[in-house]
Structure 1
Amino acid sequence: MTTTTATSTAARRSTELEKLIPLRPADFRVLTGDRPTGPLHLGHYFGTLHNRVRLQHLGVEVLLIIADYQVLTDRDVAERLGEHVENLVLDYLAAGIDPQRATIFTHSAVAALNQLLLPFLSLVSVPELGRNPTVKDEINHSRQSAVSGLMFTYPAHQAADILFCKANLVPVGQDQLPHLELTRTIARRFNERYGRLLPEPDALLSPAPLLLGTDGAKMSKSRGNAITLSASADETARLIRGAKTDSQRHISYDPQSRPEVSSLVLLAALCTGRDPHEVAQGIGSGGAAALKRTVTEAVNEHLAPMRARRASFARDRGYLRRILRDGNERANAIAETTLAEVRSAMGTRY
C-alpha cells in the first residue's frame, strides 16, 4: 500500500470514527502522550491537548503516557527529568485534563508495559524498523554521536505503549501514521501466531493546524521559538511582538505565500473561534503592529483561565505526585493483566 493510499484510508476511517465516538464513547480507549523534554506550547495545545480534553468530555477513556524513557532516544542524558514530568502534569491540568477521568502515568513506572517490548520485537524485522520514516528523521536530527538501540527500536516500544492497555484509538498526525501502522502489524502478527488477544488500533487523524514559531519555522520546544502554555501575559506579548512577519502592510490570510503572517492570523482565529479570513479582514491595512496586538489580546484572553488553573495546581506539588502515583497504579494494574494474558497465549506461564 502506498503512503498516499494509506493516508486516504486512515482519513476515511477517522471520519467514520468521529461519527461513532459521541454515540458510543464507552467503546473506545485512547492512548496518547508526550515526552517530558520541556514545557508544552500553543502548537501542542491546538494540535493535541484540546482534542484530548474533547474526547475526555465525550466520555472516552483516555490514558496519557509521560514517556520519560523515550527522552533518551535522541539524547545522552535526561536533564531535569523530574521537573519536566511535574510541569507536564501541570500543563495537562491547566488545559482541562481531569485526573479522575483520565489516567496520567509515567513510562518508567510500568514494568509490565516495558516487558512487552521483548515479544513484540520478535514480531518485526530489522529492515521494518529501519525504514520507518519518523525514526529516519529522528536519527538525522539526533543529538547523539551514534544511533542508540532505544532509538532504533522506538516504533516497537511505542507499540507496547499502545497495546499494553489495548487502546483501540490513537490520535495522531499524518506523519505518525507509519508508527501506528507498525503497531497494527505487531498486533496482527501476535494474534495470528498466538490467538486473537490484541486490538489493531485505529488512527484518529486530527486536522491539527500548523502554527509557526516566532522565527517563522515550525513551533518547537528545542528551537526556542515557541509560546509556552506556562508563559506569563507579559512574556507572551514580548514573544509575539518579536514574531517574524513580512513587508506588506495589508493583512491577509494566505498560508502558501504569506506563511508567517497567516500563522499569526490563524493563532488569533483559533483563540477566538473565528474564521482566519474574518480575522485578517478585521485588521485590514493596520499592518504588522495591529496584527500583533490582535494576536496578543486573543492569546492572553484564551490562556487566562489556563494560567489561573496552572497557578492553583502549582501551589501543591504533592498533589501532582499523587496524581502520578494513582495513575501509575492504574496503569500497572492494566499492564500486568495484559502481560499475564500475553504470557498465557505464548505458553510462558510456569
Structure 2
Amino acid sequence: MTTPDTLPAQTQTQTHADVAMAQRRSAELELRIQEAPGRFRVLTGDRPTGRLHLGHYFGTLQGRVRLQDAGVDTYVVVADYQVLTDRDVAQRLTEHVEDLVLDYLAAGIDPERSTIFTHSALPALNQLLLPFLSLVSVAELRRNPTVKDEIAHSRQASVSGLMFTYPVHQAADILFCKANLVPVGQDQLPHLEVTRTVARRFNDRYGQGGPVFPEPDALLSAAPLLLGTDGTKMSKSRGNAIALADTADETARLIKGAKTDAVRRITYDPAGRPEVSSLVLLAALCQDREPEEVAREIGDAGSAALKRTVTEAVNDRLAPLRSRRAQYAEDRAYVRKLVRAGNERANAVAEATLEEVRAAMGTRY
C-alpha cells in the first residue's frame, strides 16, 4: 500500500508547496487572532483511545488553551465514533471518554469557555455525513494520503468502510458548528482540504441564497516532534509515551528506560542524534528553555544525568496538572455532567445547521 512517504515526486512537490502556503497563512491568522479573536471559531479534538501524553500536551493541548484564553470560540470533540475506524470494538469506551475529558480539564480546557462534546451524542452532526458524502468521489477518498497511511498501519486484517469516510466525517465535525479555524499538524492538511472541498461544493450546488458553510483555514502547529521512549513516534498504542496521568515514579521509570546512544557528551542534534535530542527537547519544553542551553549544561555528564534532568523537568511541569486531574477524578459524576452540558450546547448548534442544510437542499417537508 502506498503511503505519503512513497508518493510520486510531483505529488510530494505539491505537498511541500501546500505546507509552505499553510505556514504563511497560519502566520497571518495568528496576527488576526490577536486583533479580533471573536471572529474565529475553532474545532479540534481527539479519539478516546487512551490517556493523553506529553506529545499531545506540547503538540495540541497548550495551543487549545491558548486560543481559548485569547477569546476564540472553541469546540472540542471527543470523537468516540471514530474509534471504530480501525478497531473492531470500542472496548472501555466510557472510561476512555472520561479519562480524555479529565486530561482536558487538567490541561486547562475550561468547559465554561470551550464546548466539550461527544460525537455519538449529536445525531444532527452525523446526519450531515450523508449529503457530504455525495459531494466527494470514491477516487478522491482513495487518494487521500492520510487515509492511505492509516490503512497501511491498521492493525486489522481488513479495513471497514468507515475508514474511507473518515475525512468526510471530520468535515461534518468541522462544518456542523461552522468552524473557520482548525489547528492541525502537517499530516492532517489533506483531511482539512477535504473539508474545504465539501464546503465549497455544497455552497456551489445548494447555496443559491448565499454560502452555507465557511471554507476553514488550517492553523499549523509549530510544536516540535517528540519521540517516544523507544526512539519511534510517541503513541498511546506503542506503549512508549509518558501519559499526563502517570505518577512521578512511573515517569521516572519510563525515562530511565528511554533509548539514547553511546556518545557520552550530550548535544542537541535532532538529525544526527534523534533519541538524545528528543530527551533534551523534552526537558527544554518543560523548563521553557532552549534545548541547546540544556545540552550545554549537561555536557559530559552523560545519559544518566540527561535522564535525571528530564525526569525532574517533566515531574515539576506536570505536578500541578496531575494535582488538578486527581481532584477532578474524584468526582466522575461532575465529568459526565459537564459532557452532557457540552452535548446540549453542541446539539443546538448542530440542529440549527442541519435545518439550514435542509432548507438549502429543499428537503424540508
TM over 0.5: yes
Match in the other structure for 2:299 = 284
Distance 2:22 2:250 in 1: 39
Question: Partner of 1:31: helix, strand, or coil?
Answer: strand
Match in the other structure for 1:157 = 169
1:91 matched to 2:106: no
1:140 matched to 2:140: no
1:194 matched to 2:206: yes
What's the CA shift string for 1:187-210, capped at 9, x where partnerless?
000001111110000000011211
Aligned runs of 1:70-89 on 2, under 5 Å? 70-89=82-101
**Aligned with 1:314 (options 309, 312, 329):** 329
Distance 1:265 1:228 in 2: 18
Match in the other structure for 2:348 = 333
Partner amino acid, structure 2, of 1:282: E
What's the CA shift string for 1:270-296, capped at 9, x where partnerless?
000000000000001010010001000
- Residue 35 of structure 1 and its aligned partner are, at CA, apart by 0.2
Match in the other structure for 1:237 = 252
Aligned runs of 1:96-245 on 2, under 5 Å? 96-195=108-207, 196-245=211-260
Match in the other structure for 2:262 = 247
Partner amino acid, structure 2, of 1:289: A
What's the CA shift string for 1:251-273, capped at 9, x where partnerless?
00000000000000000000000
Question: Partner of 2:35: helix, strand, or coil?
Answer: coil
Partner amino acid, structure 2, of 1:113: L
Match in the other structure for 1:301 = 316
Computed over aligned residues only, the root mean square deviation of the Cα atoms, in angstroms, reads 0.7
Match in the other structure for 1:29 = 41
Structure 1 residue ranges, 4+ long, deviating more than 6 angstroms after superposition: none
Q: How high is the TM-score relative to the length of structure 1? A: 0.99
1:275 matched to 2:287: no
- Residue 144 of structure 1 and its aligned partner are, at CA, apart by 2.1
Distance 2:201 2:332 in 1: 43
- Residue 45 of structure 1 and its aligned partner are, at CA, apart by 0.4
Question: Partner of 1:280: helix, strand, or coil?
Answer: helix
- Residue 143 of structure 1 and its aligned partner are, at CA, apart by 2.1
Distance 2:167 2:141 in 1: 7
Distance 1:65 1:258 in 2: 37
Aligned length: 350
- Residue 147 of structure 1 and its aligned partner are, at CA, apart by 1.6
Question: Partner of 2:212: helix, strand, or coil?
Answer: coil
Question: Partner of 1:62: helix, strand, or coil?
Answer: strand
Provide structure 2 residue ranges, at least 5 long, that are not aligned to the other structure: 1-10
Question: Partner of 2:34: helix, strand, or coil?
Answer: coil
Distance 2:74 2:300 in 1: 45
Partner amino acid, structure 2, of 1:60: V
Match in the other structure for 2:6 = none
Match in the other structure for 1:16 = 28
- Residue 3 of structure 1 and its aligned partner are, at CA, apart by 1.3
Partner amino acid, structure 2, of 1:146: S
- Residue 32 of structure 1 and its aligned partner are, at CA, apart by 0.4
Distance 1:85 1:339 in 2: 26
**Aligned with 1:257 (options 252, 272, 282):** 272
Partner amino acid, structure 1, of 2:325: R
Distance 1:162 1:59 in 2: 19
Question: Partner of 2:44: helix, strand, or coil?
Answer: strand
Distance 2:351 2:286 in 1: 42
Match in the other structure for 1:50 = 62
Partner amino acid, structure 2, of 1:28: F
Distance 1:303 1:309 in 2: 10
1:40 matched to 2:52: yes
- Residue 13 of structure 1 and its aligned partner are, at CA, apart by 0.7
Partner amino acid, structure 2, of 1:49: L
- Residue 141 of structure 1 and its aligned partner are, at CA, apart by 1.4
- Residue 23 of structure 1 and its aligned partner are, at CA, apart by 1.0
